[in-house]
């Protein structure tokens, strides 16, 4: 079926959610690629922008991710000057994670990309429909016990037999 052709009839809602979600995730990854970032990188930056100073252990817990799997992603962000580890004043064995000025600038670019991506994805919906869809999806996410603002794919990163985000 081509882009603007009508569908062949209604599909199951769960299938449609999965189809649109997979399409949206793949497209977002494509849009981030010129920044040399992946969606997990963007998710880490988003969390740290709201909770600066988390330790890697605290960040892993927030993301529901195994701490050893997080290390590589944090290392990449630190190597690229996007975040930095700083010793915690109350425990010098633990490092607090902070966005650098470059990280703040990159986060602004990610936000711009995300907004344009959302607008493109929802182009066929009016403002009221977008608000209704967001409310309905939020109710479903809440009912399913999903952590607000955290992609459930973090828990699968690097596990055998599971796709990488």
On the question of pLDDT at 91 being above 80, the answer is no
Q: Mean pLDDT score of the chain, rounded to an integer?
A: 89
On the question of pLDDT at 163 being above 50, the answer is no
* Contact between residue 154 and residue 165 where contact means Cβ atoms under 8 Å apart: yes
In angstroms, the first-to-last Cα distance of the chain is: 27
What is the reported pLDDT for 134?
Answer: 96
What does 20-52 look like in DSSP terms, one character per residue?
Answer: HHHHHHHHHHHHHGGGT--HHHHHHHHHHHHST
The answer to whether position 22 is within a domain reads: no
Residue 124 class from Cβ within 10 Å (0-12 exposed, 13-18 middle, 19+ buried)?
exposed
The answer to whether position 84 is within a domain reads: yes
The answer to whether position 17 is within a domain reads: no
CA distance linking residue 53 with residue 51, whole number of Å: 6
The answer to whether position 161 is within a domain reads: no
Domain that holds residue 70: 34-156
On the question of pLDDT at 160 being above 60, the answer is no
Interval 47-75: pLDDT, tens: 999 998 999 999 999 998 988 889 999 99
The answer to whether position 112 is within a domain reads: yes
The answer to whether position 147 is within a domain reads: yes
Specify the CATH number for the domain of residue 132: 1.10.10.10
* Contact between residue 8 and residue 69 where contact means Cβ atoms under 8 Å apart: no
On the question of pLDDT at 90 being above 80, the answer is no
What is the reported pLDDT for 159?
Answer: 54
Q: Structurally, how many domains does the chain consist of? A: 1
Interval 101-151: pLDDT, tens: 999 999 999 999 999 999 999 999 999 999 999 999 999 999 999 988 888
On the question of pLDDT at 161 being above 50, the answer is no
* Contact between residue 73 and residue 36 where contact means Cβ atoms under 8 Å apart: no
Residue ranges of E strands in 22-146? 83-88, 91-99
CA distance linking residue 155 with residue 67, whole number of Å: 10
Q: What is the pTM of this model?
A: 0.82
The answer to whether position 39 is within a domain reads: yes
What is the reported pLDDT for 122?
Answer: 97
CA distance linking residue 113 with residue 99, whole number of Å: 19
Q: Which CA distances in Å does 130 have to 32, 121, 136? A: 24, 11, 10
The residue ranking higher by pLDDT, 156 or 134, is 134
The answer to whether position 62 is within a domain reads: yes
Interval 3-30: pLDDT, tens: 555 556 667 999 999 999 999 999 999 9
Cα 136–chain centre separation: 20
């Amino acid at each position: 079926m081509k882009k603007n052709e009508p569908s062949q009839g209604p599909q199951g809602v769960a299938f449609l959610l999965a189809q649109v979600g997979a399409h949206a995730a793949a497209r977002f990854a494509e849009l981030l690629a010129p920044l040399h970032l992946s969606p997990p990188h963007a998710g880490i930056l988003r969390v740290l922008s709201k909770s600066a100073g988390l330790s890697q252990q605290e960040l892993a817990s927030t993301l529901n991710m195994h701490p050893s799997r997080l290390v590589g992603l944090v290392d990449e962000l630190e190597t690229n000057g996007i975040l930095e580890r700083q010793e915690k004043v109350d425990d010098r064995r633990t490092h607090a994670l902070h966005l650098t000025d470059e990280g703040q600038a990159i986060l602004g670019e990610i936000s711009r990309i995300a907004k344009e991506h959302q607008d493109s994805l929802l182009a066929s919906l009016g403002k009221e429909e977008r608000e209704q869809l967001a409310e309905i999806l939020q109710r479903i996410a809440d009912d399913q016990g999903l952590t607000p603002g955290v992609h459930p794919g973090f828990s699968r990163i690097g596990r055998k037999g599971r796709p990488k985000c």
